[in-house]
Amino acid sequence: DARVTQTPRDKVTEMGQEVTMRCQPILGHNTVFWYRQTMMQGLELLAYFRNRAPLDDSGMPKDRFSAEMPDATLATLKIQPSEPRDSAVYFCASAQQGNAEAFFGQGTRLTVV
C-alpha cells in the first residue's frame, strides 16, 4: 500500500531550537509539496519540488525555513530558529507529473513552546 511517510508525527520543541521534518514520497512520484495547516490560515502551500528541483518556495518564510530534497526518496523541511508562531501541522504530499492527484502524508504536528 503506497503512502507518503512523514516523521516525526509529533514534535515539541523550545523556541530557538532547530526542527527538521522528513518526508518520504511515494515511489515513482516526482513532485513533492509542503503545506502548513493552522486554525487561522488553513492550509497554505509552502514549497514544492519537481524532480528534486525546487520550483516555488514563495510561501515559505525565507529567513528561517529551508526545504531540500537530498534524493528522490527524501524531502526535508527545516526551521531554524523555531518560534511559537511556527506551531502548526506540516503536511507533505507527493504526486506523479501529469497526474493531479496529490497524496498526503499524515502530517507532523509541531509545537514550539
Partner 1 sequence: AQSVTQPDIHITVSEGASLELRCNYSYGATPYLFWYVQSPGQGLQLLLKYFSGDTLVQGIKGFEAEFKRSQSSFNLRKPSVHWSDAAEYFCAVGEWGGADGLTFGKGTHLIIQP
Residues at the contact surface with partner 1, assessed by CB under 8 A: 4, 31, 33, 42-43, 45, 48, 55-56, 91, 93, 95, 97-107
Nearest distance from residue 4's CB to partner 1, in Å? 7
Query: 33, 4 in Cβ contact below 8 A?
Result: no
Nearest distance from residue 65's CB to partner 1, in Å? 16
Q: Considering the complex, state which of residue 57 and residue 81 has its C-beta at the smaller distance from partner 1.
A: 57
Nearest distance from residue 56's CB to partner 1, in Å? 7
* Rounded Cα–Cα distance for residues 15 and 27 (Å): 35
CA 46 vs CA 2, 54, 72, 79: distances in Å = 24, 11, 19, 12
